[in-house]
Structure 1
Amino acid sequence: MKSKYFFLIVLALTVALFNACSKMPDTPAQPTGYGNRILFLLKDNFSLGNIYQIVQEARMGDTLQAERPVTFMAIPNQAIISWYWLSYAEKRRWMQYLIIPGAPAFRQLPLTENRAMLTTAASNIYITRFMRGNDTVTTVNGVELLAVDNPAGNGFLQVLGENINVENEPTVMHAIHNDSTVVLFAAALQRAGLTDSLADARKTWTVLAPVNTAFIWSASQLEGLDLSSLDKILSADPERLKAVLRYHLAEGRLFTGSLYRMAAANNGTITMRDGSRVSISGNQAIFNNITFRGKHNSNVAQIAKYPNYGADPNYANIPCENGVLHKITSILIP
C-alpha cells in the first residue's frame, strides 16, 4: 500500500512539474551573432583561457557579452603567468583598461604615432601604426598586436603579444613619487630642481628611471658625485646632479618599440634632454631585451626586473598622461 501511495505522489509531482513547465513562456531567441560575442570567443579559445578567467573574476563578463559594441585587447596565456596576487579592484581596473567603447577598428586608422584612445577605465591607451617593409604593424602602448581586428558579434577582438601596463598616473612625476622602487631617483630629481618639468601636463616625457639599487651601487661610478644614499643625494651639488639626470630624460612619448625604431634611424642612438646621446641595443623580439649605454658607462643598463612570488611586474612601458616611464638597472653616465 505504501509503495502505491509513493508511486501516486511521484506521479502527481511529475504531472505538476510538467504542467508548470508547459505554462512557462518560451525562452526568447538570442539575437544573430550572440554566440560570437567577445566573451564567448575568449571562452572558446584555449590560448586566451587565462584572460577569460580574469574577466570573470573582475566581473566584466557582462560588458563583453552585451550588445553595446566594444574593442577588447586580449592577452595570451603565456603573457599572464600569475594574477592571484592582484586584488579584485586591480583586476577590474586592468580589464577595464583593455576595453575601448565604440568598437574602433585598428586597421582603419592611418599611420600614426601614439594616438590616444579612451578606455572604460577612463584613461588612455596609445596606438601606433607604422610600416615595416611592406607590412603595417600596430602596437598598443609599445606592444605589437599578434592579431588585429578579429570580428566579433559585438565589436572587435585584438590580441596583444605581451601584457601592457595600465595608465594610472597623470604625470611621470606622479608615477615616480608613488613608486617605492625609485625613491632615490625621486629625491635626486627634487634636489636637481627637475620635478616641476616632469609634473607639467603640457609637456611629454620619456624617463629612464634608475631603480634604488642603481644608486646604491653607484658610489664609485660618478667621479666626484656620490649618490649611493639618500643623505648623499640631498647634499649633492644641484647643478652637477641636474647634468646627470637630464641624461635620463627624452622629449616625447617613446615606448620601447619607438626607442628601437628611433635608434635604428640614428646610428643606434637616441638624443636625450641634455643634447647628448644614449646608445640603444637589444633584440626587439625578446621581452624587455632593450639595453641602454651612456657615453661613459662600462656596462649597459637593462630594464629592471625584481624577483617576485607572484607575477613579475613589467618595468618598461609604464604609461602616464604626459609620457612614459622605463625603470632601468644602472645610472647612465654622460
Structure 2
Amino acid sequence: MLKRTALLTSALLLIPSALAGGGAGMPPRNSIAGIVANDPNFSTLLAAVQAAGLTQTLSTGGPFTVFAPTNAAFAKVPADQLNALLNDPAKLKAVLLYHVVPGRVMASQVIKMTSAPTAEGSSLKIMVNGGTVMVNDATVTKTDIMASNGVIHVIDTVLLPK
C-alpha cells in the first residue's frame, strides 16, 4: 500500500511539469512548435511547418498568434491541392504565415476585432455570431492554448490567402 501511495504521489507531482501551459502563474514551457509537435491532432500541420522551414521560427520567434488547423481541417483540402502545397515550400510557407498574426492575441481580444494582419501580409476577416468566432470561413473551436512564444487558437478549416 505504501509503495502504491508513493507511486501515485510521484505521478501527481510530475503531471504539472508535463503540461504545456504549466501551473497557475507559471509561464508556459512549450513553444508553439513544441505544442504542435506534441499534439496528434496537429500532425499534418507539423509536417507542413517542417516542409516550409518554419519550425525554428515557431520555436524561438514571436510572440505570435497562430490559428492552427487540425488534421480534420487539412482533410477538407482536396488531396491534389494539399499535395501540391506540400511540394511547393514557398507557397506552403505563404499559406502557413497566413495563419499567423504578430503578437499574442487572446480570445478576449479576437472577439473585439473585425480583421487581423497576418505574417503573410494579408488580413484575416473576423466575425462573431452568437458564441461562434469565425476567421474567414473557419470556425474557432478552441482558444487560448498558451505557448512560451505566443498563443494558439484551433480552427476547423485551412485558411487560404486570396
Q: TM-score band, normalised by the shorter chain?
A: 0.7 to 0.9
RMSD over aligned Cα atoms:
2.6
Deviation per CA, 1:127-147: give whole Å up to 9, x if none. xxxxxxxxxxxxxxxxxxxxx
Aligned partner of 1:249 among 95, 100, 115: 100
CA apart distance, 1:329: 0.1
| Match among 89, 95, 98 for residue 238 of structure 1 | 89
Out of 73, 77, 81, which is 1:226 matched to?
A: 81
Q: 1:97 — aligned with what?
A: 23
Equivalent residues of 1:184, 1:215 under 8 A apart = yes
CA distance in 2, matches of 1:207, 1:318: 10
| 2:3 corresponding residue in structure 1 | none
Gaps of 5+ in 1: 1-58, 60-86, 99-118, 125-166, 294-299, 305-314
Q: TM-score, normalised by structure 1?
A: 0.41
Cα pair distance change 1:90/1:214, threshold 3 Å: farther
Larger RCO, structure (CA 8 Å, separation 6 or more): 2
Residues 247-288 of structure 1 show CA distances to partners (whole Å, capped at 9, x for unaligned) of 001110011112223x2xxxx1111111101111115x73xx
Conservation of the 8 A alpha-carbon contact between 2:99 and 2:118? yes
Closer, same or farther: CA 240–234 of 1 in aligned 2, 3 Å: closer
- How much identity, in percent, do the aligned residues show? 29
Structure that is richer in helix per residue: 2
Match 2:56 to one of 167, 188, 196 = 196
Q: Taking structure 1 as reference, are residues 92 and 204 closer, same or farther at Cα in structure 2, changes over 3 Å only?
A: closer
1:307 aligns to what?
none
**Moved runs in structure 1, 4+ residues, more than 4 A?**
87-94
Give TM-score, length-normalised by structure 2: 0.80
Superposition pairs of residues 76-91 of structure 1, within 5 angstroms: 88=12
- Structure 1 residue 195 displacement after superposition: 1.1
The DSSP-based 3-state class of the residue aligned with 2:104 is coil
Match of 1:206 in 2: 65
**What residue identity is the alignment partner of 1:332?**
L
Report which of the two structures shows the higher radius of gyration computed on alpha carbons.
1
1:279 to 125, 141, 154: 125
Relative to 1, partners in 2 of residues 1:89 and 1:292: Cα closer, same or farther, differing over 3 Å? Answer: farther
Residue 135 of structure 2 corresponds to residue 292 of structure 1:
yes
Question: Which residue does 2:34 correspond to in 1?
Answer: 174
Distance change (3 Å), C-alpha of 1:254 and 1:226: same
| Partners of 1:226 and 1:234 in 2: CA distance | 6
In the alignment, residue 68 of structure 2 is paired with which amino acid? Answer: A
> What is the aligned length?
149
